[in-house]
Chain A
Amino acid sequence: MSNEEQRLIESAQRGEVESFNQLVRLYESRVYNLCYRMLGDPDAAADVAQDTFISAYRNLGRFRGGMFRSWLLRIATNACYDVLRVRKRRPSTSLQALGVADDDGIGFDLPDLGERPDDAALRHELAAAIQRGLADLPEDQRVVIILSDIQGMAYEEIAAVTGANLGTVKSRLSRGRARLRDILRAGELLPSKFRHDGG
């Protein structure tokens, strides 16, 4: 944790909301994307992300050092688990239950002027397939895949966020990758240069 971040945390712990908001701006994209990939619904992800920062502000006194990012993501992860638990008790046939937003991968990002339409469509199709694949994973594998492969976090930090040991992180990551690999392979969405049968 940098000195600047430490300074912001200490200031926020003294009640300076603007200092906390600077921390929010640092991590809101990461938190929101974690929530979105976990829940598959942009509105639910926004609600959980907001609740995460509110909870973090209220409980800043309990942050005893270490990586602030890990602490924040742990709050977000637990909040996502709570939402998913409620969903299980109230099953729905909506897209939300499938973990796929109705506009996933389509129309929400700025068009790349240098990108061919076919490539853009393929990119959107891939993003939608990945989100469907993530929704198909058990929650414990899903969060590890998101933190490791989508957000690029190290095993140790993932263990801190999820509360699991390193061995469990490795196991969940390998199983999650294998399942996603199968889904993408079935959809012929794996990049050709890596595909063993494409050459």
Chain B
Amino acid sequence: MNTSQPQLNSMPDSDIELLSAYIDDQLTEPERAELERRLGTEPRLRAELEDLRATAAVLRDLEPRPLPRSFTLDPAIAPRRRGFLSFGWAMQLGGGLAGFALVLLASLQMFIGVGGGMAASAPAPAAMMAAATEAPAAPLPQAAEMAPASTAAPMVAAAAAPESAQDATAARNAPDSMASDTGAEGESSGAGAPALTEVPTAAAAMALPATEAPTPAISASGLSSPGTESLEQPASPPAAKSPPQLSAPPAGMILALGVVLIALSLGSFLYGRARR
């Protein structure tokens, strides 16, 4: 076999393209007529056409290579199809909804919590703390009834309230007031807004890492002697004013977390679409 380098073709690319399209019957009527006229008068053009036809014929006659094996899928190990409600899609939707819920929760905390005392709103444990602080005696009978049922509530109250001063206040007034807080919480949780019960808990859980530091202080103050109360009582008015301020951080954190969740969900969705 001749191993010399292929000869460079000096025919214009435009002519080669015409000839190639002519082979495939892809020329317009005027183009075909003009080319056929030239083929009749240009032997070199005619020769190039025959060589191109021969090349196409050789390729057409090339035998297909036999299959080395079958490529059918084994039903036992076939990959899972990406359905409409795929796991990834569900995660994106769930994350987005969770983020939206957190943003809504934070908004409610910011606006209702600043109002300082709409205890019917369960997402405002700080507000409930404030209400309990203002009227510690009132919920006591209810607290006595609710105390056995609110074993989990103290954890919710403590966790949801990075406002350590408020918890300290609740603890200071009396151990019963803690129960009363929880009792009030339990009441409102039970009767007022069951739909929001989980959200405060979730918010509480998310707020938990930030609240761990204040917790020892709460415990310490809770165990402080009665004498400490008198010393700290003057601090209660400022503490009473603090609920609006202390409600902001958790609401802000919740809002930020919600925005992050929404951004991640949206980003994941857009990235997945871009990859298609």
Contact = CB atoms under 8 A, between A and B. Distances in A.
Nearest to A101: B65
B89 to A, nearest CB: 11
Contact of B55 (A36, A127, A180): A180
Contact of B20 (A28, A127, A177, A187): A177
Interface of B is mostly: loop
B66 A57 contact: no
B64 A190 contact: no
B71 A28 contact: yes
A57 B71 CA distance: 12
Contacts of B17: 170-171, 174-175
B37 interface: no
A177 B73 contact: no
A191 interface: yes
Contact of A58 (B7, B70, B72, B79): B79
A86 interface: no
Using C-beta atoms within 8 Å of the partner chain, give the interface range for chain B. 35 or more
B42 interface: no
B135 interface: no
B82 A59 contact: yes
Interface stretch (A1-9, A48-56, A77-85, A91-99): A48-56
A152 B53 CA distance: 14
Given A21-B72, A49-B71, A109 B63 contact: yes
A184 B1 CA distance: 10
A131 B6 CA distance: 15
A145 B20 CA distance: 12
Interface of A: 13, 15, 17-18, 20-21, 24-25, 28-29, 31-33, 36, 42, 46, 49-50, 53-54, 57-62, 108-109, 123, 125-127, 129-130, 145, 148-150, 152, 155, 170-171, 173-175, 177-191, 194-196
